[in-house]
Structure 1
Amino acid sequence: MIAKNLVAVAQRTGRGIALEDLSGIRGRVRPRRNQRAVHASWSFHQLGAFIEYKARRAGVRVITVDARFTSQLCPDCGYTARNNRFSRDGFGCRMCGLAGPADHVAGINVRNRARLSVGTCQRARTCRLKADG
């Protein structure tokens, strides 16, 4: 249902969908003991596959971008630091002072990387767009 709604909004608004490449995340993240069961049931790959499948059928572009530092990078000034994430839910740039919900800031960074990818792709005529192939 989540994938269907995302694709429907992208199709209705004439936009694409940008996803983080989360392959290998299970090996990089160290959950607390009481969070291990939830961590083991994450289905990032399955959701991504559903989004790609439904997007392909609807003619919506899907771009996968590098996930490194998306939650630590300031979208305004470009400063990247671990302590920009002062809590699980909070972001505050130590350089320029931009603050906001960490997930929102990470989403902006994913969008910006996707836009750069499409711009580079259109100039070089080499795309990694999954909806095209």
Structure 2
Amino acid sequence: SSSSSSSSSSSSSSSSSSSSSKIPNSSYLSSSSSSSSSSSSSSSITSSSYLFLLLQLLLLLRIFFFFFFFFFFVFFFFFFFFFFFFFFFIIIIIIIIIIIFFLLFFSSSSSSSSSSSSSSLHFLLFIIIFFFSSSFSSL
């Protein structure tokens, strides 16, 4: 009887020790699985944040290049046409002045007796030159 009670007590102590030894193992396993899941979730969050930052950077670069090329071409367009029309305007003014001088020359040579018409043409020439010089200064 005493041997049976001792064997039962030893078996109960061994079962309690085994159960006590199993509980820390199970807690260790659960903590390790939770830490691995948290590390994997944190790594996925980090990679998604890097991907988001990369997409934002690409978007900013696309906007920058769009505005750069847009303003560059608009500036080039206006610059080119401004100078084109400016030189075109200068050429037209030079042609008009040459025509006026030829008209004055031929009118003064053909009508040498009529000095009033010559003076009126000179006055007209002065007005035209003054008008063109003021238009140049406004440009």
TM tier, smaller: under 0.3
Higher helix share: 2
Please identify the structure whose Cα radius of gyration is greater: 2
Higher relative contact order (CA 8 A, sep 6+): 1
State TM-score, norm by structure 1: 0.22
